[in-house]
Structure 1
Amino acid sequence: MASRNQLVVPQANAALDQMKYEVASELGISLSQDGYYGNLATRDAGYIGGNITKRLVQIAEQQLAGQSR
Protein backbone atom coordinates (compact mmCIF):
# COMPACT_ATOMS: atom_id res chain seq x y z
CA MET A 1 0.00 0.00 0.00
CA ALA A 2 1.42 3.38 -0.97
CA SER A 3 1.74 6.13 1.57
CA ARG A 4 -0.95 8.80 1.40
CA ASN A 5 1.18 11.35 3.22
CA GLN A 6 2.46 14.02 0.89
CA LEU A 7 5.12 16.55 1.78
CA VAL A 8 4.21 20.18 1.19
CA VAL A 9 7.83 20.74 0.15
CA PRO A 10 8.97 17.58 -1.67
CA GLN A 11 12.62 18.66 -1.41
CA ALA A 12 12.34 18.23 2.37
CA ASN A 13 12.20 14.45 1.96
CA ALA A 14 15.98 14.02 2.19
CA ALA A 15 16.21 16.22 5.29
CA LEU A 16 13.41 14.30 7.01
CA ASP A 17 15.04 11.00 6.12
CA GLN A 18 18.34 12.19 7.60
CA MET A 19 16.53 13.40 10.73
CA LYS A 20 14.96 9.95 11.10
CA TYR A 21 18.38 8.29 11.22
CA GLU A 22 19.79 10.96 13.57
CA VAL A 23 16.91 10.59 16.03
CA ALA A 24 17.09 6.79 15.90
CA SER A 25 20.82 6.94 16.59
CA GLU A 26 20.31 9.30 19.54
CA LEU A 27 17.72 6.90 20.96
CA GLY A 28 20.00 3.90 20.46
CA ILE A 29 17.74 2.32 17.86
CA SER A 30 19.41 0.88 14.78
CA LEU A 31 17.65 1.34 11.45
CA SER A 32 18.33 -0.66 8.34
CA GLN A 33 19.87 1.45 5.57
CA ASP A 34 17.93 -0.44 2.88
CA GLY A 35 14.57 1.04 3.92
CA TYR A 36 13.11 -2.18 5.35
CA TYR A 37 11.68 -1.61 8.82
CA GLY A 38 9.82 -4.92 9.28
CA ASN A 39 12.02 -5.84 12.22
CA LEU A 40 11.45 -2.47 13.96
CA ALA A 41 9.22 -2.67 17.02
CA THR A 42 6.11 -0.50 16.93
CA ARG A 43 7.18 1.15 20.16
CA ASP A 44 10.55 2.11 18.68
CA ALA A 45 8.90 3.51 15.54
CA GLY A 46 6.65 5.59 17.81
CA TYR A 47 9.62 6.89 19.77
CA ILE A 48 11.36 7.91 16.58
CA GLY A 49 8.27 9.58 15.12
CA GLY A 50 7.45 11.36 18.36
CA ASN A 51 10.96 12.74 18.70
CA ILE A 52 10.98 13.90 15.08
CA THR A 53 7.72 15.74 15.72
CA LYS A 54 9.12 17.38 18.87
CA ARG A 55 12.20 18.50 16.96
CA LEU A 56 10.14 19.91 14.07
CA VAL A 57 7.93 21.83 16.50
CA GLN A 58 11.02 23.28 18.23
CA ILE A 59 12.42 24.39 14.87
CA ALA A 60 9.11 26.03 13.92
CA GLU A 61 8.85 27.79 17.30
CA GLN A 62 12.39 29.15 16.94
CA GLN A 63 11.64 30.43 13.45
CA LEU A 64 8.41 32.08 14.60
CA ALA A 65 10.15 33.65 17.60
CA GLY A 66 12.81 35.06 15.26
CA GLN A 67 10.17 36.57 12.95
CA SER A 68 8.26 38.26 15.77
CA ARG A 69 11.26 40.35 16.80
Structure 2
Amino acid sequence: MARRNKILVPEARENLDQLKGQVMKAKGYDVNMTDPNAVKYEIANEQGIPLQKGNNGQLTSEQAGKIGGPIGGNMVKEMVKMAQEQMKQK
Protein backbone atom coordinates (compact mmCIF):
# COMPACT_ATOMS: atom_id res chain seq x y z
CA MET A 1 0.00 0.00 0.00
CA ALA A 2 1.42 3.36 -0.97
CA ARG A 3 1.90 5.98 1.71
CA ARG A 4 -0.42 8.79 0.82
CA ASN A 5 -0.40 10.41 4.22
CA LYS A 6 2.02 13.28 4.41
CA ILE A 7 3.27 14.19 7.83
CA LEU A 8 3.83 17.88 8.50
CA VAL A 9 7.36 17.30 9.80
CA PRO A 10 9.08 14.67 7.64
CA GLU A 11 11.83 14.30 10.24
CA ALA A 12 9.21 12.84 12.61
CA ARG A 13 8.75 9.67 10.50
CA GLU A 14 11.22 7.65 12.58
CA ASN A 15 9.55 8.62 15.86
CA LEU A 16 6.11 7.87 14.43
CA ASP A 17 7.31 4.43 13.35
CA GLN A 18 8.68 3.83 16.87
CA LEU A 19 5.34 4.89 18.35
CA LYS A 20 3.55 2.53 15.97
CA GLY A 21 5.74 -0.35 17.12
CA GLN A 22 5.26 0.43 20.80
CA VAL A 23 1.50 0.84 20.53
CA MET A 24 0.94 -2.31 18.50
CA LYS A 25 3.25 -4.32 20.77
CA ALA A 26 1.20 -3.14 23.76
CA LYS A 27 -1.91 -4.38 21.91
CA GLY A 28 -0.37 -7.86 21.78
CA TYR A 29 1.02 -7.96 18.25
CA ASP A 30 4.40 -9.46 17.45
CA VAL A 31 6.23 -6.33 16.33
CA ASN A 32 9.71 -6.19 14.82
CA MET A 33 10.89 -2.84 16.22
CA THR A 34 13.33 -2.40 13.34
CA ASP A 35 10.39 -2.66 10.91
CA PRO A 36 7.18 -1.72 12.73
CA ASN A 37 5.31 -1.37 9.44
CA ALA A 38 5.41 -5.15 9.08
CA VAL A 39 2.66 -5.44 11.72
CA LYS A 40 0.16 -4.68 8.95
CA TYR A 41 0.79 -8.16 7.51
CA GLU A 42 -0.14 -9.76 10.82
CA ILE A 43 -3.33 -7.71 10.98
CA ALA A 44 -4.18 -8.56 7.38
CA ASN A 45 -3.64 -12.25 8.08
CA GLU A 46 -5.98 -12.08 11.10
CA GLN A 47 -8.63 -10.45 8.91
CA GLY A 48 -8.16 -12.94 6.07
CA ILE A 49 -7.03 -10.17 3.72
CA PRO A 50 -4.45 -11.13 1.05
CA LEU A 51 -1.92 -8.35 1.71
CA GLN A 52 1.44 -8.88 0.03
CA LYS A 53 4.63 -6.90 -0.23
CA GLY A 54 4.54 -4.71 -3.29
CA ASN A 55 1.46 -3.70 -5.22
CA ASN A 56 -1.86 -4.39 -3.52
CA GLY A 57 -4.07 -2.54 -5.96
CA GLN A 58 -6.59 -5.38 -5.88
CA LEU A 59 -7.56 -4.59 -2.28
CA THR A 60 -10.84 -2.81 -1.72
CA SER A 61 -10.90 0.33 0.40
CA GLU A 62 -12.84 -1.67 3.00
CA GLN A 63 -10.02 -4.22 3.20
CA ALA A 64 -7.38 -1.51 3.41
CA GLY A 65 -9.35 0.16 6.20
CA LYS A 66 -9.52 -3.08 8.15
CA ILE A 67 -5.74 -3.22 8.03
CA GLY A 68 -4.88 0.44 8.61
CA GLY A 69 -7.73 1.31 10.95
CA PRO A 70 -6.50 -0.60 14.00
CA ILE A 71 -2.98 0.73 13.53
CA GLY A 72 -3.88 4.39 12.99
CA GLY A 73 -6.71 4.36 15.50
CA ASN A 74 -4.53 2.99 18.27
CA MET A 75 -1.76 5.46 17.43
CA VAL A 76 -4.19 8.38 17.64
CA LYS A 77 -5.53 7.17 20.99
CA GLU A 78 -1.98 7.00 22.34
CA MET A 79 -1.10 10.47 21.01
CA VAL A 80 -4.22 11.91 22.69
CA LYS A 81 -3.19 10.28 25.98
CA MET A 82 0.30 11.74 25.61
CA ALA A 83 -1.12 15.23 24.93
CA GLN A 84 -3.44 14.96 27.95
CA GLU A 85 -0.50 14.02 30.17
CA GLN A 86 1.51 16.99 28.87
CA MET A 87 -1.42 19.32 29.55
CA LYS A 88 -1.72 18.00 33.12
CA GLN A 89 1.95 18.74 33.72
CA LYS A 90 1.61 22.38 32.66
TM-score (norm 2): 0.52
User: Does the 8 A contact of 2:20 with 2:36 survive in 1?
Assistant: no
Q: Distance in 1 between matches of 2:20 and 2:74?
A: 9
CA RMSD, Structure 1 to Structure 2 (Å): 2.9
Assess, with a 3 A threshold, how the Cα gap between structure 1 residues 34 and 49 changes in structure 2: closer, same or farther.
Answer: closer
Cα shift at 1:48: 2.7
Q: Distance in 1 between matches of 2:28 and 2:74?
A: 13
Assess, with a 3 A threshold, how the Cα gap between structure 1 residues 21 and 9 changes in structure 2: closer, same or farther.
Answer: same
Aligned length: 67
Cα shift at 1:56: 1.2
Identity %: 34
TM-score (norm 1): 0.64
Cα shift at 1:63: 4.0
The 3-state SS of whatever aligns with 1:40 is helix
Query: What pairs with 1:1-69 in structure 2 (closer than 5 Å)?
Result: 2-31=2-31, 33=35, 35-36=37-38, 37-41=40-44, 43=66, 45-64=68-87
Q: Which sections of structure 1, spanning at least 5 residues, go unmatched?
A: none
User: Does the 8 A contact of 2:21 with 2:31 survive in 1?
Assistant: yes
